[in-house]
Chains A and B, each alone.
Chain A
Amino acid sequence: MRFRRAAGVVLVVAAIGSSANCGANADRRARELRRTAGSWAATLRTATDEWARDALPAHFVASTIDVARQELTREGDRVRSQSGAGASAAADEVLAALTPLRAAVERGDRGSAIAVAHAVADRIPSEPTPPVARPQ
């Protein structure tokens, strides 16, 4: 009887612990999504800049935009289901910029593409890592 009571207490504690952990995991995923959104914004800025100086072909920039859309949509849906709509705001903002960006790339308008990519990268900054052996 004592063992069963102890087992019950352990189960309740484990349930509370895992639900708290779920909450912590949801926060972690939301933070990771924010970082991922910043990463893709930086990627698109770099890709459009390289396209502008003719270091990348237009089809590469277009496929980078498509991959960004795929990744951010998938991750955004997952985070929204766990943490609500607000948690994916950064990803949603990058996603919103992808349509005008892709349109600019398709018509060969480098100036507009750069403007869109730079604007979204300024609004959703990335988290750079310095090129050192002991990043902080």
Chain B
Amino acid sequence: MKNLLKIGLGIVTSIGGFLDAGTIATAALAGAAFGFQLLWVVILGTGCVILLTEMCGRLAAVSHHSLSDAIRERLGFRYFAVPLVGEVLVDLLVLAAEIGGVAIAVHLVTGITYLWFVPICALGLWALLWLGTFSAIENGVSLAGMVTLSFVVAAFGMDPPWREIARGAVPSLPSRDAAQYWFLAVGIIGALITPYVLNFYATGAIEEKWTVKDIAVNRVIAATGMSFGSIVAMSMLVLAALVLGTRGIQVDSYEQAALVLTQPFGRWGLYLFAASLGVACLGAALQVSLNLAYVVAQGFGWNWSENLKPHEDARFAAVYTAAILASSTLLFVGDPIGLTTLSMALNAVIAPLVVFPLLVIMNDRAYLRDHRNHVLGNLLVASVVVLAFVVAAVAIPLEVFGG
């Protein structure tokens, strides 16, 4: 039973890290523009993120270090400062996009301009962090996140062409609009291999006091949790292909994306879409704001834990408070979809700075003892590092030309 509850960490990491404003928007864009052709990118990204989260969980269970902690200790503060600054800046953009996503979810249902809801959503987010504990947040988001299964139910209900879906799982080159195709491919990878997901998972494992005995369960949790998010994201892509692509509807706004569920579910479709978007973005906002506070606190050696009262780790609490305030302000100068695509591109740029050190640390006996990576694990992570560098190199030019 305890192990089953631990799966909550996998699912909440998945809901916040896998399924968020970026993935929902990109999956819808990809399906509407290219049918099932980009499914293989989601599968590739899922494999990468399962591999990386399993390693982060193993690192936490054996060494009781989070990823940020281990990077700082192993490679020194001078190296750590670079991904630290990058991660803080990107996380602020991502947090703004996620708060915006929650506000837009409310706007879709009420018709009132989303900007009115930004301060309310920001305050609600802050209150959950101030008053909640890690397990309460984790279990709450996991449970509420089940609403995103409506995408899966809808996709099955539309009786999709399964043979074509299977063909979409095989990598292919674009037959048209190459810049947009690769922009979306890079966007999907960039939305999945994000430093904040990796650090959040490792820190969450420490919050839950994992030990060496949890290594086997960690594999199940990483695989199950991330697969959950992947199946929902793929369902979104399939629905967008079936409902939007066949009508020639591009996804330039969440209003267009919401149409994917009104066909199968009627009036309930809009509410299910809004609920899914709201929960996914709230989960992501909680995760990103906590991660910001974790990374800064761990970087500077401050007290940190979501399970402590705010007065016991005041600087930790101050970081997420300031982050929520700063990010909410950004929404009054930029639109959420614009912030989302920019943050995905920047995430892709800083990801190698975090993934490469992970490869080093996972082979360090001082941290992993007898649980270091095997040769195959190292080869796979090295491949992910190469992929991350390639994605980082092309992300910004593609943002300019293909976005």
Contacts and interface: CB of A to CB of B under 8 A. Distances in A.
B34 A39 contact: no
A47 interface: yes
Contacts, number: 118
Contacts of B241: 129, 131
Nearest to B175: A136
Interface residues of B, number: 42
A60 B248 contact: no
A129 B245 contact: yes
Interface in B243-268: 245-250, 252-253, 255-256, 258-259, 262-263, 266-267
Given A43-B256, A60-B111, A131 B164 contact: yes
Contacts of B110: 59
Contacts of B262: 50, 55-56
A59 B249 contact: no
Given A43-B256, A55-B262, A63-B255, A129 B33 contact: yes
Interface string B26-64: 000000111111010000000000000000000000000
A55 B170 CA distance: 36
A42 B244 CA distance: 9
Contact of A132 (B36, B253, B258, B267): B36
B249 A39 contact: yes
A57 interface: yes
B172 interface: yes
Given A129-B248, A131-B161, A56 B107 contact: no
A76 interface: no
A2 interface: no
A133 B35 contact: yes
Interface stretch (A9-17, A83-91, A111-119, A120-128): A120-128
Interface residues of A, number: 35
A105 to B, nearest CB: 11
A50 to B, nearest CB: 5
A40 B241 CA distance: 16
Interface in A59-76: 59-60, 62-64, 67, 71
Contacts of A57: 111, 267, 270
Given A35-B250, A39-B249, A128-B248, 9 more contacts: A36-B252, A43-B256, A46-B259, A55-B262, A56-B270, A129-B248, A130-B35, A130-B246, A132-B167
Interface of A: 35-36, 38-40, 42-43, 45-47, 50, 53-57, 59-60, 62-64, 67, 71, 125-136
28 contacts: A36-B252, A42-B247, A47-B255, A50-B263, A56-B270, A59-B111, A60-B270, A63-B108, A63-B111, A67-B252, A67-B253, A67-B255, A128-B245, A128-B247, A129-B32, A129-B241, A130-B246, A131-B36, A131-B161, A131-B241, A131-B245, A132-B164, A133-B165, A133-B168, A133-B172, A135-B37, A135-B175, A136-B176
